[in-house]
Amino acid sequence: MPITDFLERNSRLYPNDVSLVEINPANQPEKNVTWREYNLIESASNAKYRREMTWREFDVRANRFANLLLTRGVKRGDKVAILLMNCLEWLPIYFGVLKAGAIVVPMNYRYSSEEIKYCLDLSDSRILVFGPEFTERVNALMPDQLSDITDFFFVGEEDERPEYASDYKTMVTYCSSSVPAVELRDEDDAAIYFSSGTTGFPKAILHCHAALMRAAKTEQAHHSQKKDDVFLCIPPLYHTGAKMHWFGSLVSASRAVLLRGVKPEWIMQAASEEQATIVWLLVPWAQDILDAIDSGEIELSKYRVSQWRLMHIGAQPVPPSLVKRWQTKFPGQDYDTNYGLSESIGPGCVHLGVENIHKVGAIGIAGEGWEVRIVDEHRNTVTCGDVGELAVRGEGVMKCYYKNPEATSEILTDDGWLLTGDMAMQDEDGFIYLVDRKKDVIITGGENLYPVQIEDFLRTNDKIKDVAVIGLPDDRLGEIAAAIIELKPDVTATEDEINEFCTALPRYKRPRKIIFDDVPRNPTGKIEKPRLREKFCGGRLVEHQTTK
């Protein structure tokens, strides 16, 4: 069963129910007017601020785009790239590509022109759908460097459209709204996602339709979305995490809100006025909300959040101190954390579960439909309590790294196990704890240091907003741990003060160097450690064995 069947079912059973809402808080003219009131007052211009779409409109738009692609000669297996910010058009375009039997290629909105070309070439994309935010970057590649792209579709205002691109809205208007006569099979290739690129240029990750369906089933099983739930979606849709969490809304035919902006007051206003019941946050956003509450910038009493039943976090290790702090502000909420990677179709191959709050700090147990193991360098299962590499197996595992058999063989075993590159350990109850990325482990004087453990400790300091620990080359010890510390606004601290705080750590775990600087994160919340290594140690990454 393809994932598109859920959309067609929702269109048939709930044609007039709202499926998606898009909110652009930066376009709100008056702060004392609610979003819904503004909708009524400024009906002619509210498309720039708040837009919504029913399930029937969603399905019709997907069908029209699928039929447009077919008229342009798109065949089964052709690749269609999407380069858009989160918007109301994003998901109908995605589903339109699937309905046409083509392979959808979502692209990171932070890509430079060089990276755009690299990913288009790597994926063999022949069609590019892009928005006004990317015109300058695409223009820089025209015409010679994008000669393999046969069609460009522009999603934006007509007066902003470049001459070489067709207007998406105009073109789909004249296409059939009927479901295309294209059979979709579970084993058919469906999507190419790109790795996060935290270790250089991204790899192209190929998934089939069965993997998308596994993501939908796993998400709905974990978070029990019902018809009356409202999911507030903030992370970028090009990433597997955001989209696969939204699949829970698709399965339950419930409403989702796409919020374009991450300011704490915008998140809280969206949760309040749209009556969100489920919100997925990244660590920095949750920290910013808590800081805004503590500073008085946000007054919780002004927001309606009693219906907010679940806050969950994924995409990066979650400091237990953050969860405990969140619970003091939102005591009635359930909490969950989800672990996943694009190679395993996003979140859910491991999850904590709302019933296991007593295990905060763990990423959890095997997700619905998944198996997990922790293995040594010979791929043998390690003893309980020992550190090894996390491996997962299930229908959501990628088919391969597209056009890269060598990289595929490095992480995908013959019997279907995916080696995640994450170091982990399992306790006596079967709960898995992330220790660190395999490539981020620091070996100092023969001892393995796991930066996440040091980072979690440092984040308990009230003055620290964010922290990243990396290894710096050292002639005597091989590497030493350096802590890059981003302080909270209007707060000061000294190296001596941080070093004194770290005396609570075992001596070998204490950072040997303290650096006060910003901590860069990518759009999915992961710390960009290669950028920090480039800045502080010339990009050097010590290669070593990480299991003991």
pLDDT digit string (tens) for 281-299? 988 789 889 999 999 999 9
- Residue 200, pLDDT above cutoff 60: no
Closest residue by Cα to residue 318 from 527, 494, 158: 527
Give the span between the Cα atoms of 190 and 210, in whole angstroms.
Answer: 9
What is the mean predicted confidence (pLDDT) over 213-222?
94
What is the mean predicted confidence (pLDDT) over 243-249?
93
Confidence band, pLDDT 50/70/90 cuts, at residue 29: low
What are the tens digits of pLDDT across the range 436-475? 676 777 877 656 687 888 888 898 999 999 999 988 887 6
The pLDDT value given to residue 542? 46
Do the Cβ atoms of 339 and 354 come closer than 8 Å?
Answer: no
Which residues touch 63 (CB under 8 Å, ≥6 apart)? 96, 99, 175, 176, 177, 178, 179, 180
Confidence band, pLDDT 50/70/90 cuts, at residue 490: confident
What are the tens digits of pLDDT across the range 150-191? 999 999 999 999 999 999 999 999 999 999 999 999 999 999
Q: Which residue has the higher pLDDT, 177 or 240?
A: 177
Whole-prediction pTM: 0.83
Domain 441-537: CATH class, spelled out: alpha beta
- Residue 45, pLDDT above cutoff 90: no
The pLDDT value given to residue 368? 94
Give the span between the Cα atoms of 533 and 385, in whole angstroms.
Answer: 30
- Between the ranges 106-110, 342-346, 365-369, where is the mean pLDDT highest? 365-369
Angle of CA points 427, 428, 430, to nearest 5°: 70
- Residue 133, pLDDT above cutoff 90: yes
Q: Which residue has the higher pLDDT, 47 or 366?
A: 366
What is the mean predicted confidence (pLDDT) over 482-492?
92
- Residue 395, pLDDT above cutoff 80: yes
What are the tens digits of pLDDT across the range 258-274? 999 999 999 999 999 99
What are the tens digits of pLDDT across the range 68-108? 999 999 999 999 999 999 999 999 999 999 999 999 999 98
Closest residue by Cα to residue 325 from 292, 278, 277: 292
Confidence band, pLDDT 50/70/90 cuts, at residue 33: low
Q: Where are the alpha helices (DSSP H) in 258-404?
A: 264-273, 283-295, 320-329
Mean pLDDT of the chain, nearest integer: 89
Residue ranges covered by each domain of the chain: 441-537
